[in-house]
Copies of this chain bind each other. A is one copy, B any other.
Amino acid sequence: MHVTHTNQSSRRPTVAPMRTLKAFQEEFDLSTKFLCARMFDRHRETIRTQKRHVAVGNLVRITKTTLALSNRTGFHSMSLRDLASESGLSMGALYNYFDSKDTLLLMILGEVAAAVKETLSSPPQALEHDPLNRLRWLLETHVYLTETMQPWFVFAYMEAKAFSREGRELAVRSELATEALIAFALADGEAQSVFVVDDIDLTAAIIKPLLQDWYVKRSKYRRRGVSAEQYVRAITSFVEAALTR
């Protein structure tokens, strides 16, 4: 483990040691199995199968297949017959886990929103008065989070608009929350003269797409051999150069 040398007096504080993707994944369990277990707990009353290990196992198969098929051609064009045959369950069995196709969508969206909230809203205490490193932590954690749950985030990004008002609002709220966290770090940095920011909200708004591109265009970066760590470094140095004059 490295030791952080913060040097507030120099114009360019030293870089806090970056977590690796692996370290992040050891800190937060975001495995499909774990996420589906939470999904089961959250929808116990509507899921007819009550044996926990059976239900969770089937939810894993349902979720994995749904994400795979939807991210190829869209949730609406995925038929429940395809989902049934690809996941190894029957049509009738599927309806033990959700009462409509829309509900399935909302169950997945719900877990994405919950993961964002849980992961991003607890920055380390030590960074409370250190806006530069809090921004770094935010960018890094977001990239690692979306890297770990990539198919989930692509799904949420592409399909949120397609269904009920409830789904759309969930997505909008989640997105605005992330932007608010960025804006907060920017405002703090501005107040401490660490950053030079003209319009805080607008700047936060244009930092956001840098985070989204990582999972939306994941295949592009994979083709070019860019790792999550490299991407974090790239956007971090880009953003910091833009914010510190």
Known: A202-B224, A241-B242. 7 other contacts (CB 8 A): A74-B162, A76-B76, A77-B162, A203-B234, A205-B220, A206-B210, A209-B217
Bound Cα distance from A199 to B227, whole angstroms? 14
Q: Which residues of B contact A210 (CB under 8 A)?
A: 206, 209-210
- The reply to whether A208 and B213 form a contact with Cβ atoms under 8 Å apart is yes
Verify A206–B238 contact, CB threshold 8 A: yes
The reply on A161 being an interface residue by CB < 8 A is yes
Complex CA–CA separation, A216 to B205 (angstroms): 13
Report the separation of the CA atoms of residues A190 and B234 in the bound assembly, to the nearest whole angstrom.
Answer: 17
Please tell me if A212 contacts chain B, counting CB pairs below 8 Å: yes
A201 within 8 A of B: yes
Nearest CB in chain B: distance from A101 CB, A: 11
Chain B contacts for A220, CB-based, 8 A: 205
Tell me if B202 and A213 are in contact (CB < 8 A): no
Which of A158, A163, A209, A241: most chain B Cβ within 10 A?
A209
Can you give 11 contacting A-B residue pairs, CB < 8 Å?
A: A73-B162, A74-B161, A74-B162, A158-B158, A201-B224, A202-B224, A205-B220, A205-B221, A206-B213, A209-B213, A241-B243
A12 to chain B, nearest CB (A): 11
Per-residue contact bits, chain A 179-205, to B (CB 8 Å; 1 contact, 0 not): 000000000000000000011011101
